[in-house]
Amino acid sequence: MTPSSSAGLQRTALVTGATNGIGKVTALELARRGYRVLFTARDETKGQRILAELRAESSNDALELFVGDLSSMAEVRRIALEVRTRHPKLDVLVNNVGGVFAERKITVDGFEYTFALNHLSYFLLTNLLMEPLRASGNARVVSVSSSGNRMARMRWDDLEFSSSKSGWAAYPQSKLMNVLFANALARLLCGTGVTSNSLHPGVVNSGFGKNATGLNRLISRAVNVLFVATTPEKGAETGVYLATSPEVEGVNGQYFANKKVSRANPIAYDVGSQERLWRLSEERLSWWLDPVDAGQAVAHR
């Protein structure tokens, strides 16, 4: 059955990072439910292959591919503007793209890679898509976090772990940022008809750490063996539930696990911390946040 809005039109969902793992399953399940599904991929060739697979497996031709590296803020902005141009109304945004990296890396914009991909891409894309989300009248923003958020503390004096050569340490903080962002967004959107929630998908073997080498590769393999407890199909269930279920209609500012309200890191509920992260994110992204396309955005910091 095709989902419909109050106007009787097909609902539209955007899923980031949908070429593997829970992102791919989320896109597939939304397509099977009749949504028009937009999804992002970093690689054009792989993206086209996944597009064909999703169309065939869902029997739904209403899928669209947007290609770009979401660790680049110019690419995030370009995709957001393309989505806004093609789709003035967006009913669901699933912020899913992310990763954990063994070694510290820097993006084209000069940001620490985990911070940029796992947090800044969520923040920038959602803010630039606020107009089509509000136009839906009944939209949902779903941000994929992790139970790893509970292990984090906010390093306000060094958000990008400049003192560390390892990328592992940045991951739990980025997942705490996801919940802080989702909760801050929920307060901002209260009364607009748009809701914002976050979730832990379960520990899923989705290729995290696959590019590690040496000792880091051994650590990554050990984590997969010891802690992988579910499949991508199972891991996608809570995100799909938050995106589609009438049971969570109007539910706002909650953190879910196993399709139930759960408890995140206590820091995630501190309004001062939410506002501080929001302000610091705005400061770092000021070059890219202007929703008006007054010219091609370029990397600048």
Planar angle of CA 250, 99, 198, nearest 5 degrees: 15
| pLDDT at residue number 167 | 85
Instruction: Give me the DSSP letters along 132-197.
Output: HHHHHSS-EEEEE--GGGGG----TT-TT-TT-SBSTTHHHHHHHHHHHHHHHHHHHHTTTT-EEE
Cα dihedral across residues 20, 21, 23, 27: positive or negative: positive
| pLDDT at residue number 229 | 55
- DSSP label of 103: B
Residue 202 and residue 230 in contact, taking contact as beta carbons nearer than 8 Å: yes
Residue 75 and residue 108 in contact, taking contact as beta carbons nearer than 8 Å: no
**Structural domains of the chain in order of their starting residue, each with its CATH number:** 12-284 (3.40.50.720)
| pLDDT at residue number 207 | 52
| Catalytic center residues | 171
Q: In a 3-state reduction of DSSP, which class is residue 253? A: coil
Instruction: Give me the DSSP letters along 9-77.
Output: PBPEEEESS-SSHHHHHHHHHHHHTT-EEEEEES-HHHHHHHHHHHHHHHT---EEEEE--TTSHHHHH
Distance of CA 141 to the CA centre of its chain: 9
| pLDDT at residue number 204 | 64
**Token representation of residue 258:** 């196993």
Other beta carbons less than 10 A from residue 114's beta carbon: 28
- Mean pLDDT of successive 10-residue stretches along the chain, which has 301 residues: 55 98 97 98 98 98 98 98 97 96 94 98 98 97 96 96 88 97 97 97 63 50 52 95 98 98 98 98 96 43 33
**Token representation of residue 241:** 């539930």
| pLDDT at residue number 295 | 37
